[in-house]
Amino acid sequence: MPVTRGFTGKRRDDRARRSDRLPPGQYDAGREWPTLTAEATPDLDPESWTMTVDGLVESPRTWSWRQIHALEGSSYFGDIHCVTTWSRFDMTFVGVSVDTLLDLARPGADAAYVMAHSTTGYTTNMPLEDVTGGRAWVVWEVDGRPLPVEHGGPVRLLVPHLYFWKSAKWVTRLELMATDRPGFWEQNGYHDRGDPWLEQRYQGDP
Protein backbone atom coordinates (compact mmCIF):
# COMPACT_ATOMS: atom_id res chain seq x y z
CA MET A 1 0.00 0.00 0.00
CA PRO A 2 1.43 3.38 -0.91
CA VAL A 3 2.29 5.51 2.05
CA THR A 4 2.42 9.26 1.77
CA ARG A 5 5.83 10.11 3.14
CA GLY A 6 6.18 13.22 5.17
CA PHE A 7 2.85 13.76 6.83
CA THR A 8 2.13 10.25 8.17
CA GLY A 9 5.82 9.61 8.82
CA LYS A 10 6.14 12.82 10.71
CA ARG A 11 3.02 12.10 12.71
CA ARG A 12 4.32 8.65 13.61
CA ASP A 13 7.69 10.11 14.70
CA ASP A 14 5.90 12.68 16.81
CA ARG A 15 3.79 10.00 18.46
CA ALA A 16 6.91 7.90 19.17
CA ARG A 17 8.64 10.90 20.70
CA ARG A 18 5.62 11.57 22.87
CA SER A 19 5.42 7.96 24.07
CA ASP A 20 9.13 8.16 25.02
CA ARG A 21 8.13 10.95 27.35
CA LEU A 22 5.36 8.90 28.97
CA PRO A 23 6.39 7.12 32.20
CA PRO A 24 5.17 3.50 32.56
CA GLY A 25 1.42 3.16 33.10
CA GLN A 26 0.66 6.78 32.14
CA TYR A 27 -1.48 8.15 29.28
CA ASP A 28 -1.27 11.43 27.41
CA ALA A 29 -4.18 13.63 28.54
CA GLY A 30 -3.64 15.97 25.60
CA ARG A 31 -5.00 19.41 26.30
CA GLU A 32 -6.97 18.29 29.32
CA TRP A 33 -5.80 19.31 32.78
CA PRO A 34 -7.82 17.40 35.39
CA THR A 35 -8.35 18.97 38.81
CA LEU A 36 -7.61 16.76 41.83
CA THR A 37 -8.32 18.29 45.21
CA ALA A 38 -8.87 16.42 48.46
CA GLU A 39 -10.11 19.45 50.41
CA ALA A 40 -12.32 22.47 49.77
CA THR A 41 -10.74 25.01 47.39
CA PRO A 42 -9.65 28.01 49.50
CA ASP A 43 -10.17 31.63 48.50
CA LEU A 44 -6.80 33.29 49.09
CA ASP A 45 -5.95 36.95 48.83
CA PRO A 46 -2.45 37.54 47.43
CA GLU A 47 -2.27 40.65 49.65
CA SER A 48 -2.29 38.54 52.80
CA TRP A 49 -0.61 35.44 51.32
CA THR A 50 2.85 34.59 52.64
CA MET A 51 5.42 31.89 51.98
CA THR A 52 7.56 30.58 54.85
CA VAL A 53 10.66 28.39 54.94
CA ASP A 54 11.38 27.16 58.45
CA GLY A 55 12.24 24.11 60.54
CA LEU A 56 15.91 23.11 60.34
CA VAL A 57 17.19 26.31 58.75
CA GLU A 58 19.67 28.86 60.03
CA SER A 59 17.50 31.78 59.04
CA PRO A 60 13.71 31.14 58.94
CA ARG A 61 12.14 33.34 56.27
CA THR A 62 8.72 34.59 55.29
CA TRP A 63 8.01 36.37 52.00
CA SER A 64 4.97 38.40 51.06
CA TRP A 65 3.51 38.27 47.54
CA ARG A 66 5.47 41.40 46.61
CA GLN A 67 8.70 40.14 48.19
CA ILE A 68 8.62 36.75 46.49
CA HIS A 69 8.03 38.41 43.11
CA ALA A 70 11.12 40.56 43.73
CA LEU A 71 13.35 37.45 43.90
CA GLU A 72 15.07 36.15 40.80
CA GLY A 73 12.42 34.45 38.65
CA SER A 74 12.65 30.96 37.24
CA SER A 75 10.46 28.87 34.97
CA TYR A 76 9.80 25.24 34.07
CA PHE A 77 8.85 24.03 30.63
CA GLY A 78 7.95 20.37 30.39
CA ASP A 79 5.67 17.59 31.50
CA ILE A 80 3.67 16.67 34.62
CA HIS A 81 2.51 13.21 35.71
CA CYS A 82 -0.36 12.36 38.08
CA VAL A 83 -0.47 9.05 39.93
CA THR A 84 -4.05 8.57 38.65
CA THR A 85 -2.27 7.92 35.28
CA TRP A 86 -2.71 11.13 33.29
CA SER A 87 0.31 13.05 32.06
CA ARG A 88 0.33 16.47 30.42
CA PHE A 89 3.08 17.58 28.09
CA ASP A 90 4.62 20.96 27.40
CA MET A 91 3.44 23.11 30.26
CA THR A 92 5.11 26.38 31.17
CA PHE A 93 5.16 27.46 34.82
CA VAL A 94 6.69 30.69 36.10
CA GLY A 95 7.73 31.49 39.66
CA VAL A 96 10.85 31.15 41.72
CA SER A 97 13.21 28.21 42.18
CA VAL A 98 13.04 26.53 45.59
CA ASP A 99 16.87 26.81 45.53
CA THR A 100 16.52 30.59 45.72
CA LEU A 101 14.35 30.34 48.85
CA LEU A 102 16.68 27.79 50.46
CA ASP A 103 19.79 29.84 49.69
CA LEU A 104 18.26 32.63 51.77
CA ALA A 105 16.97 30.40 54.59
CA ARG A 106 20.15 28.27 54.70
CA PRO A 107 19.23 24.65 55.54
CA GLY A 108 20.95 23.26 58.63
CA ALA A 109 23.52 20.50 58.22
CA ASP A 110 21.03 17.91 59.54
CA ALA A 111 18.15 18.91 57.23
CA ALA A 112 17.41 15.95 54.94
CA TYR A 113 13.65 16.09 54.26
CA VAL A 114 11.04 18.70 53.54
CA MET A 115 7.34 18.85 54.35
CA ALA A 116 5.29 21.12 52.09
CA HIS A 117 2.25 22.60 53.84
CA SER A 118 -0.80 24.16 52.21
CA THR A 119 -3.04 26.73 53.93
CA THR A 120 -5.74 24.06 53.82
CA GLY A 121 -3.78 21.57 55.93
CA TYR A 122 -2.69 19.41 52.96
CA THR A 123 0.88 18.19 53.41
CA THR A 124 3.38 16.22 51.35
CA ASN A 125 6.91 15.06 52.21
CA MET A 126 10.03 14.73 50.07
CA PRO A 127 13.77 14.21 50.44
CA LEU A 128 15.45 17.63 50.43
CA GLU A 129 17.45 16.65 47.35
CA ASP A 130 14.19 16.40 45.36
CA VAL A 131 13.48 20.10 45.83
CA THR A 132 17.06 21.31 45.22
CA GLY A 133 19.33 21.39 42.17
CA GLY A 134 16.85 23.26 39.95
CA ARG A 135 14.12 20.62 40.20
CA ALA A 136 11.41 22.38 42.20
CA TRP A 137 9.61 25.70 42.00
CA VAL A 138 7.07 27.83 43.79
CA VAL A 139 4.89 29.01 40.89
CA TRP A 140 2.14 31.59 40.25
CA GLU A 141 1.78 31.54 36.47
CA VAL A 142 0.91 28.76 34.01
CA ASP A 143 0.98 28.98 30.21
CA GLY A 144 1.05 32.75 30.33
CA ARG A 145 -1.77 33.37 32.81
CA PRO A 146 -2.11 33.58 36.58
CA LEU A 147 -2.35 30.13 38.16
CA PRO A 148 -6.10 29.39 38.46
CA VAL A 149 -7.35 28.87 42.01
CA GLU A 150 -8.49 25.28 41.31
CA HIS A 151 -4.92 24.48 40.24
CA GLY A 152 -3.43 25.95 43.43
CA GLY A 153 -3.49 29.69 42.81
CA PRO A 154 -2.27 32.09 43.83
CA VAL A 155 0.81 29.91 44.44
CA ARG A 156 1.61 26.20 44.36
CA LEU A 157 4.66 24.02 44.68
CA LEU A 158 5.90 22.36 41.48
CA VAL A 159 8.07 19.24 41.62
CA PRO A 160 7.56 17.92 38.10
CA HIS A 161 10.02 14.99 38.21
CA LEU A 162 7.84 13.37 40.92
CA TYR A 163 4.14 12.42 40.73
CA PHE A 164 1.98 15.52 40.88
CA TRP A 165 0.61 14.91 44.39
CA LYS A 166 4.01 16.21 45.61
CA SER A 167 3.18 19.57 43.98
CA ALA A 168 1.16 21.01 46.87
CA LYS A 169 -1.49 23.51 45.78
CA TRP A 170 -1.95 26.70 47.88
CA VAL A 171 1.50 26.11 49.37
CA THR A 172 2.51 28.47 52.18
CA ARG A 173 5.24 26.68 54.04
CA LEU A 174 8.26 24.46 53.46
CA GLU A 175 9.38 22.84 56.69
CA LEU A 176 12.88 21.33 56.73
CA MET A 177 13.27 18.19 58.82
CA ALA A 178 16.03 15.79 59.91
CA THR A 179 13.84 12.69 59.60
CA ASP A 180 11.10 11.78 57.17
CA ARG A 181 7.44 12.05 58.12
CA PRO A 182 4.52 11.05 55.88
CA GLY A 183 2.26 13.77 54.45
CA PHE A 184 -1.45 13.53 53.65
CA TRP A 185 -1.45 11.04 50.75
CA GLU A 186 1.65 9.29 52.06
CA GLN A 187 -0.28 8.45 55.26
CA ASN A 188 -3.04 7.15 53.00
CA GLY A 189 -0.88 4.65 51.14
CA TYR A 190 0.98 6.69 48.55
CA HIS A 191 4.72 6.24 48.14
CA ASP A 192 7.15 8.37 50.16
CA ARG A 193 9.13 9.45 47.08
CA GLY A 194 6.86 9.05 44.03
CA ASP A 195 9.20 8.83 41.04
CA PRO A 196 6.93 8.24 37.99
CA TRP A 197 9.75 6.61 35.97
CA LEU A 198 10.12 3.97 38.73
CA GLU A 199 6.31 3.73 39.15
CA GLN A 200 6.57 4.54 42.84
CA ARG A 201 2.81 4.91 43.24
CA TYR A 202 2.06 3.18 46.55
CA GLN A 203 3.88 2.25 49.75
CA GLY A 204 5.70 -0.99 49.02
CA ASP A 205 6.46 -0.14 45.37
CA PRO A 206 10.24 -0.09 44.62
Out of ligand MTE, Mo ion, none, what residue 159 binds, judged by CB under 5 to 8 A for its kind, is none
* d(C-alpha 100, C-alpha 136), whole Å: 10
Interface with Mo ion (CB under 5 A): 36, 82-83, 165
CB of 8 to ligand MTE, least distance (A): 33
Distance CA 71, CA 63 (A): 10
Nearest-approach distance from CB 29 to Mo ion, in angstroms: 12
Nearest CA to 155 among 101, 193, 88?
101
Cβ proximity to Mo ion, 83 vs 114, nearer residue: 83
Q: Residue 122 binds what, of ligand MTE, Mo ion, none (CB under 5 to 8 Å, by partner type)?
A: ligand MTE
* Phi, psi dihedral angles at 168 (to 5 degrees): -60, 125
Residue whose CB is less far from Mo ion, 95 or 194: 194
Which residues make up the interface to ligand MTE (CB under 6 A)?
Answer: 33-39, 82, 118, 120, 122, 151-152, 164-165, 167-170
Which of Mo ion, ligand MTE, none does residue 81 bind (CB under 5 to 8 Å by kind)? none
Q: Which is nearer to Mo ion, 111 or 159 (CB)?
A: 159
Question: Closest separation between CB of residue 126 and Mo ion, Å?
Answer: 15
Find which of Mo ion, ligand MTE, none residue 169 binds, CB within 5 to 8 Å per kind.
Answer: ligand MTE
DSSP 78: E
Taking the C-alpha atoms of residue 48 and residue 127, their distance in angstroms, rounded to an integer, is 29
Provide the minimum distance between the beta carbon of 23 and ligand MTE in the complex, in angstroms, as a whole number: 14
SS3 117: strand
In a 10 Å sphere around its CB, with 0-12 CB exposed, 13-18 middle and 19+ buried, how is residue 81 labelled?
buried
CB of 99 to ligand MTE, least distance (A): 21
Distances from the Cα of 33 to the Cα of 47, 61, 62, 86, 188, angstroms: 27, 33, 31, 9, 24
Residue 93 interface partner, choices Mo ion, ligand MTE, none, CB cut-off 5-8 Å depending on type: none
Nearest residue (beta carbon) to Mo ion: 82
Residue 178's CB: how many other CB atoms inside 10 A?
12
